[in-house]
Chains A and B, each alone.
Chain A
């Protein structure tokens, strides 16, 4: 063994307070974004329970995820009995329109062929009206929750997208954004008069109003009929530069190539793909609106030009509080990229850019997008929070921006943290956090400025109440 213990993350072979989650979690979120869908994880009980708990703590909503409940016998003799019983029971209990099946480490390792299991199940139930069965292969030991998310978006589209005469509607795949973000995107698309399919749409299903009757399957989600229409769209828009393409190279079994949904549709259904970054900040949001103008042939509604104008106005009003401030940014790769591009617009200096994502593309993509501005900034993949924690002292940051799991680092450093993305387990209203569009950026901007002002105010001996 030649592992010497040095400081720094590369020298650790373990992960210490991981900055990533496993892929069935991402898959489950996507399945929650299909109307009438119940997710099932083909594996042991614990995974489903843990993932449920993790999602519930963020969304504050009931999140039912079934499990095929592997036992010791199952792992030896195979899971087909549990698989069939599982589906039977879900159908009996929930009457779902769709069952979204993701695999887990265990089922993948013992070599379960879920596609075959589905075929067999369908064959032996030919006479009944079965729900649509969608399968995404999501072993937790490959990639992260983000890979699981995008792989599942693609898998769902690949199962359902019909080859039809091209229509006038468009597809939009926004990625792992908040329910409020999705609602905002829908408003924007409506304002251009688009007929569109947004997937996955968990804006209701993971953020429902209060009920008088309990719903076994929360209302909301992209309808299956809409998923079928994705194959005949005139164009697709997807947000993200890294998506699920980051980890393909690290896979040993090259049994599958990762496509994003938009790329899959381009290749197999002739729907042109448009890739944009998450629309955070003026520049990236401008690019989004430019594309919408082009695709619709219409002008941007005044509502949004006003939002843009106000955002710039606030950039000006707030710039002095921000200039030269040093930020540690961490989280899912594409959110990190969006955040960094935005920070560079407002004069905040990222001093460490970290993601738990396991690919290697974050650094080159950022360097390209920023035209080299991030060249000398440490950009690290496969990071964990202890590594960030250990590096942070030397970096003298003023603020942390990322999920709530970095709180302990911020607390130790005595600096503010602005919570973005997923998970936010220690604050209220994670479902309603906004990140995208001029309006989402505005919210993010206000939160960052206020966090810095508040910190200064609390640190001040004077206790001023006017600024």
Chain B
């Protein structure tokens, strides 16, 4: 028998069609819950991480740095400096006497050794408490070494992962606009794709075929120089609203670069994105090319999708991912292959997204914000889900209960964006739903 749910969490759980109430979200996790959420630092780190020619130094005790060493599948086509974990490894004496000297020495030696184009310096909980003047040290080193040294003020206790996204965007904003190179006419920036398993490269190919120039990719396969010049683009195309919207808004205010929110996940959303960009430039040619690409890809992919759909018809899925925007795309993509979503939730959802999810889902679908293992395991049992879509932390829950699983987090090694990604997704769902191993578990 399951224990009762934590009181104080009822409002973060709704059943679609049974209530007109909006879901409560953006609440700090309750003490004592085993939240699947991470911290502010984590949020900033995941966003900035793919900038591969920058030094990422984590000022704090060792844990924060070592647990985030090269755990994400964000690929780079060039430098790989980002795949290291640099830490000031604060010790007890630093806690007592302050860590500024160590930070300074670390920055100098690492910049000398690795010659990065910029340095991001993350503060963590401990630094937030011992009161090191991160900003002053960064400024000093920046002057001495003549590269941007950017403080990322991200003590973990200062909020949730989502707050970390904002901190990261602020850090990026200090880079944007510090270079002035001319770029071609139809130029966009891609915001919010992290090039997991090379996804960005799929997108670049579509845009190239369309005749669009991609100026800066922020931050997937990201480079400091390109980000510095990002304000020159005509449009910011922002994926997965959670992490990068803030930067898009900042750039609109400061440089007048408009933005567009897209999702590259699933056929509909991917096509919408291409059409949207073409529409923005009000160019007939672009529009024609976009529809050519869409047609070509649909012709290639739909027959395969149909086959999957026939076999997967009637399967039920539970979704628990980082952001609610991604959840929306997933619901649609699953529907395309005949899978019904019965549980959906996210770590850091927004109320608008949740509302949309409520409309999108069938009656009785459970919608939940900032969930935990107890709830998740209860929900998937109750709803008789066959497949769970989530991150590493959810995988063992799914497997222990005899459910199939699809990793839709940033650690995965499969590209799931774009048309090609939809095929990979269908293949993975199919493989996990149809495996003969479940005959021994259910």
Contacts and interface: CB of A to CB of B under 8 A. Distances in A.
Given A45-B156, A50-B64, A141-B95, A214 B397 contact: yes
A364 interface: no
Contacts of A14: 57, 86-89, 102, 105-106, 109-110
A386 B84 contact: yes
Given A72-B158, A93-B3, A12 B109 contact: yes
B69 A17 contact: yes
A90 B157 contact: no
B178 interface: no
Nearest to B3: A93
Interface stretch (B35-43, B202-210, B259-267, B310-318): B35-43
Interface string A1-27: 101010000011111111011101100
B129 A109 contact: yes
A45 B393 contact: no
B104 A49 contact: no
A253 B97 CA distance: 13
Contacts of A90: 32
A47 B34 CA distance: 12
A49 B157 contact: no
Contact of A69 (B35, B61, B91, B397): B35
Given A5-B112, A40-B32, A15 B158 contact: no
A142 B32 contact: no
Interface stretch (B183-191, B237-245, B281-289, B373-381): B373-381
A467 interface: no
A25 B63 contact: yes
B85 A18 contact: yes
Contacts of B400: 61-62, 208, 210-211, 214
Contacts of B157: 44-45, 70-72, 74-75, 106
Query: What size tier do the contact residues of chain B reach?
Result: 35 or more
Nearest to B83: A408
Contact of A1 (B31, B38, B64, B108): B108
B401 interface: yes
A25 B63 CA distance: 9
Contacts of B180: none
B128 interface: yes
Interface in B100-119: 101-102, 104-106, 108-110, 112-113
Interface in A48-86: 48-54, 56-57, 60-72, 74-75, 81-83, 85-86
A252 B92 contact: yes
B62 A18 contact: yes
Contacts of A405: 69
A273 to B, nearest CB: 28
Interface string B146-167: 0000000000111110000000
Given A50-B42, A106-B157, A141-B95, A18 B66 contact: yes
A257 to B, nearest CB: 15
A432 interface: no
Interface string A107-148: 001100000000000000000000000000001111010000
Nearest to B401: A214
B140 to A, nearest CB: 10
B405 to A, nearest CB: 11
B130 interface: yes
A95 interface: yes
Given A5-B109, A14-B109, A105-B126, A45 B86 contact: no
B256 interface: no
Nearest to B90: A141
Nearest to B111: A5
Contact of A92 (B6, B29, B102, B126): B6
Contact of A18 (B89, B91, B106): B89
B28 interface: yes
Interface in B70-89: 70-71, 84-89
B84 to A, nearest CB: 6
B161 to A, nearest CB: 8
Given A74-B157, A106-B125, A405-B69, A50 B84 contact: no
A89 B30 contact: yes
A48 B373 CA distance: 14
A39 B7 CA distance: 21
Nearest to A88: B32
25 contacts: A14-B102, A15-B88, A15-B89, A25-B63, A44-B125, A45-B38, A46-B42, A48-B34, A50-B64, A56-B392, A67-B33, A72-B159, A75-B128, A82-B31, A93-B4, A94-B3, A105-B125, A109-B126, A140-B63, A141-B92, A211-B402, A216-B2, A216-B373, A251-B92, A408-B70
Interface of A: 1, 3, 5, 11-18, 20-22, 24-25, 40, 43-54, 56-57, 60-72, 74-75, 81-83, 85-90, 92-95, 105-106, 109-110, 139-142, 144, 208, 210-212, 214, 216, 250-253, 386, 405, 408
Given A1-B104, A210-B399, A250-B91, 13 more contacts: A11-B109, A12-B106, A17-B69, A17-B84, A25-B63, A44-B157, A48-B34, A51-B63, A67-B35, A70-B125, A72-B158, A141-B91, A214-B378
